[in-house]
Chain A
Amino acid sequence: MSSEHSAQMKTPGKFSSIPRISAIVLAVAGSIFYLAGQFAGAVLILLAGGLYLAGLRLEQGDGGIREAMARWKKILAAPLSGALIAIVIGGIIMLLTGYNPIKAYSALFYGGLVKNWHISVINAAPLIFTGLSVAFAFKAGLFNIGAEGQYYIGAMAAVWLGLILKLPGIISLILVFAFAAALSAAWNLIPALLKVKTGAHEVITTMMLAHTARYLSPIFIRAFGGNPSTSTHPYVTDEILPNNFLPVFKTLFPNANYRLHTGILISIATAFFIQYLLTKTRTGFEIRAIGQNKEAARAQGISIGLNVFRALLIAGALAGLAGVNQVTGLDHKMFENLHANYGWNGISVALLAGGHPIGVVFTSLIWGILDSGGQYMARTTQTPNAIVEIVKGITLFLVVARYISFYLKRYWKRWNMSGGK
């Protein structure tokens, strides 16, 4: 093939980069609008989708579109079909136990998607962080089941620095985020060290440290303003300084809910960063390599120990960011016995997304919608919102089992290829 020919092949690509960039700009703007509760943003997102497809068509023809569709189908098919079947099963359960599933579900989706959309978004932000944490460790073949603990450490670090740090502009906010991420990463040093030195399973070590961190938090809260014998607000820390609050959407969109903070944007940006890190950098390549085949990775000269450290520390930082997000964005203080379970639920959303960082954004939103919609449903239709937990459990089971059937099929093929001997 001549160099002239390949140059010709490239030109359409250059032209189509204009619709592509504008598609990205439109999609980002539309998403911000939509997340802020300005549903007109959907028009921008649709427009962006159209532009993207058109650009793809220009560049690669119909085949490109088919390829892109197939890619998205692969990511979304499992969680969506799983959720759909679980919703149907949940409906049958409601029907059998004397509730009206149609009324309940319409309340659930009206509440989660429209009426209390802001709560869904607020719910989703920390889940994206903890989900990313678990998903990232998955890529290295590690199970960061203790994300809950790193979440608590992140929240405590954010309160600690947030109470005292007063620097101009967003500098102090950035420092709070960095400090909390570093501390919660350090919380995973022991599991990483034990994994490398003694082979102790990270499921055990991170889980034990999760409970440790959870029970350290009341001591921390008493030390920072929540002492029941001296404080006017027992079991809650003092409020962090206002310059360490995350901005709320209301400053930009006057009719947005006043509690809706911009943590969701940071979490989604982080998801894209993690996706970039995993697919486009040397570090990501090495982490995926030890996750897929340790022996092959070692043969390539990739250090297992170093990458276990990297994976667990980054996972710790990500889960810690969930804590910072809650403190600086939503609560501005830390409560005792907050039964938020973002760490444990992070496992669910990561499993549901099959460990895909961008998938985690969507599954977290689904979880957030189910939670806020479930509360709305319970309030307006008196259907117990535990049905939401059941639907979540069944969804997870179906999706996880689906991946298993995929592995089984592969096994079956390999066995058949070996002649069934």
Chain B
Amino acid sequence: MEFFSIFNTQLLVAAVRLGTPIMLAAIGASICERSGVVNIAMEGIMIVGAFVSVTVALYSGSPWLGMLAGVLAGGLYSLLHAFSTVSLHLDHVVSGAVLNVLAFGLTRYLMVLIYGHPGTTDVIPVNLSEYQFAIPLLSRIPVLGPVFFNQTPIVYMSFALVIFFTWFLRKTKIGLHLRAAGEHPMALETIGVSVYKMRYLGVLVSGLACGLAGAYLSIENGASFTEGMSSGKGFIALAAMISGGWNPIGAALFSVFFGFADALQIRFQVFKVLAVPEELFIIFPYIATLAAVAGLVRRSRPPKADGVDFIIERAEG
């Protein structure tokens, strides 16, 4: 196999597909962290979303219902994180770590309970990739067409969500309040907006997005749920969000970039065109993140009150 022949349109399509779950979680993470809550539970939320999607899709027969259920389950599970960090004032990283452990145990237990064995669930008959559709005209554009305009439903949704949340953060009043909760919570509280509510909202958005990312893994990219199928994507999403500078567009770009590294890695593994260990491509996102936080790429600054607890001391009378 010729070295340059692996760089074709198919590689870019694979990059977008592999980048989609990272992108969804990274968008959610940037909203969550802009509201001031650090969320490392995304891996766990994704697992919950993926498991619930498959199970509901299997029993209802509709992958769309499965997707909806996965999103809702992700949102519900993330509320645990919101409750413990915002209301109970637990350390954000601690709470995230605990929720990851719990998600792993819960899905494994439910798997044995529902499917009778650990490992992999049953396969759903129809998955969402069957609903792939090409947008007329646009999909005819060379290279860009097949990459962006001939995709599966959740991939389209993730594009739409990038645009929506960029608009939401920059142009809406709630978006402004949400950002204020992460930068100057005291100032926000002073003008009479609840910091708690904004932070709950931020976490909830990341939960819903991670639930969708989980659904993508199990019922669009795949057709069943396997233990460990998220394989650290929640953490890579964190990396994409930081490298992308805590905003949805940057996060999305880096997600696709990391997806590209992943796609390249798979090709190198299969075709052995270059005497480079393919693991170096897997490592790439992590090194890129280190470079980003080190200020080598550009200034990447977290919101001022990111991960900082906020306690309202209400005065009486």
Q: Let me know if A209 is at the binding interface, CB within 8 A.
A: yes
Chain A residues, Cβ within 8 Å of B283: 211-212, 215-216
Q: Is the CB of A208 within 8 A of B289?
A: yes
A207 CB contacts on chain B under 8 angstroms: 40, 235, 238
Report the minimum CB–CB distance from A264 to chain B (whole Å): 24
Q: Tell me if B90 counts as interface (CB < 8 A to partner A).
A: yes
Interface stretch of the complex, out of B14-22, B91-99, B158-166, B170-178: B91-99
| Distance A194 CA – B295 CA, assembled complex (angstroms) | 10
Whether B294 contacts A400 by the Cβ 8 Å rule is no
Partner of A143, one of B93, B102, B286: B93
Contacts of B105 in A (CB 8 A): 386-390, 392-393
Q: How far is the CA of A387 from the CA of B283 in the complex (A)?
A: 33
Question: A200-B294, A389-B109 given as contacts; is B101 within 8 A of A212 (CB)?
Answer: no
Residues of chain B in range 108-144 having any CB-CB distance to chain A below 8 Å: 108-109, 111-113, 118
Minimal Cβ-Cβ distance residue in A for B293? A200
Interface presence of B316 (CB below 8 A)? yes
Q: A358 interface residue, CB < 8 Å from B?
A: no
- Interface residue ranges of A205-254 to B (CB < 8 Å): 205, 207-209, 211-212, 215-216, 218-219, 222
The binding surface of chain A is classed by DSSP as helix
Question: Roughly how many angstroms separate A205 CA and B228 CA in the complex, as a whole number?
Answer: 23
Alpha-carbon distance A215/B278, docked complex (angstroms): 10
Q: Which of B292-307 contact A (CB under 8 A)?
A: 293-295, 302, 307
**A15 in contact (CB, < 8 A):** no
A145-B98 contact, Cβ under 8 Å, with A208-B286, A216-B279:
no
Bound-state Cα–Cα, A415 to B35, Å: 26
Q: How far is the CB of B83 from chain A (nearest CB, A)?
A: 10
| A272 at the B interface (CB under 8 A) | no
The reply to whether A411 and B108 form a contact with Cβ atoms under 8 Å apart is: no
Q: Are A204 and B104 in contact (CB under 8 A)?
A: no
* List of 10 A-B pairs having minimum Cβ-Cβ separation, nearest first: A389-B105, A393-B102, A386-B108, A384-B112, A386-B109, A200-B293, A208-B286, A390-B105, A215-B279, A219-B277
15 extra A-B contacts, CB within 8 A, seeds A212-B283, A344-B97:
A97-B113, A145-B40, A194-B294, A198-B293, A201-B302, A204-B242, A204-B293, A208-B287, A209-B286, A218-B277, A222-B277, A388-B105, A389-B102, A397-B102, A415-B313
